[in-house]
């Protein structure tokens, strides 16, 4: 979500046709929903009418998210704060089936020694993608989260982590933890179950503490408050 240029383009088109009606919050939700569907994932309905916050702080938003090296306990507690069940939380993290992980978030699993929970063959692949423990800050070094179907939204993520081929520490930990393992195994076997549970989670996640009515504002530009 660091690259908002497409959201800006969508918002500008909407504003030209229907100014001051559709919030940036709704644009982001719809963009994510449609992006999932375009990559072969489930299409689902979302309720609209969100308003945008009058506050703006990227650092505050980042602080809400768990760190890249979070453990299962922290992850489940975080998801529980949004009223998500364990299977819903596992399904939501299945979105890692697409996208990529930057080397800056991978190297602590590779250097100076390889994380013992990481598949050895996969670790060698990651070292080729991330050949130094100190990636240059301006270099775009990364690994695809799913080498098999990198641009398809499917349950291959769960098959990968059952082989301990998850990019982030949390990925493999979800398979190794007895609380989450049964759901990882079921979603790896049943793509329909993964999709259905993912939609449940998104329905809850996207309606958590939204601003409506006269709260907040409808931003003219998503990068700044009015």
Nearest-angstrom CA–CA distance, 81 and 66:
12
pTM value is: 0.92
More confident residue, 137 or 181: 181
Q: Contact at 8 Å (CB) between 112 and 64?
A: no
Specify the residue for token string 């989670």.
201
Q: What is the pLDDT of residues 143-173, one digit of tens each?
A: 999 999 999 999 999 999 999 999 999 999 9
Nearest-angstrom CA–CA distance, 31 and 4:
11
Binding residues for heme b: 96
Binding residues for substrate: 66
Binding residues: 66, 96-97, 146, 149, 154
Question: What is the average pLDDT across 68-81?
Answer: 94
Q: Token pair for residue 68? A: 């890249």
Q: Contact at 8 Å (CB) between 23 and 2?
A: no
Per-residue pLDDT at 2: 58
Binding residues for Ca(2+): 97, 146, 149, 154
Q: Is the pLDDT of residue 91 over 60?
A: yes
């Amino acid at each position: 979500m660091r690259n908002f240029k497409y959201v800006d383009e969508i918002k500008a088109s909407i504003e030209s046709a229907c100014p001051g009606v559709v919030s940036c919050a709704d644009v982001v939700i719809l963009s994510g929903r449609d992006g999932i569907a375009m990559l072969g994932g489930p299409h689902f309905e979302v309720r609209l009418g969100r308003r945008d916050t009058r506050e703006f702080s990227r650092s505050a938003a980042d602080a809400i998210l768990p760190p890249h090296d979070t453990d299962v306990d922290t992850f489940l507690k975080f998801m529980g704060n949004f009223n998500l069940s364990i299977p819903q939380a596992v399904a939501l993290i299945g979105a890692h089936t697409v996208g990529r992980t930057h080397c800056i978030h991978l190297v602590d699993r590779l250097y100076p020694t390889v994380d013992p929970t990481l598949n050895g063959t996969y670790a060698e692949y990651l070292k080729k993608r991330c050949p130094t423990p100190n990636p240059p800050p301006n270099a775009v070094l990364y690994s695809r989260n799913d080498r098999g179907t990198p641009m398809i939204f499917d349950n291959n993520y769960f098959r990968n982590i059952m082989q301990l081929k998850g990019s982030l520490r949390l990925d493999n930990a979800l398979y190794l933890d007895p609380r989450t393992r049964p759901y990882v195994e079921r979603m790896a076997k049943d793509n329909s179950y993964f999709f259905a549970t993912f939609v449940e989670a998104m329905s809850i996640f996207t309606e958590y503490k939204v601003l409506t009515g006269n709260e907040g504002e409808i931003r003219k530009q998503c990068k700044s408050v009015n």
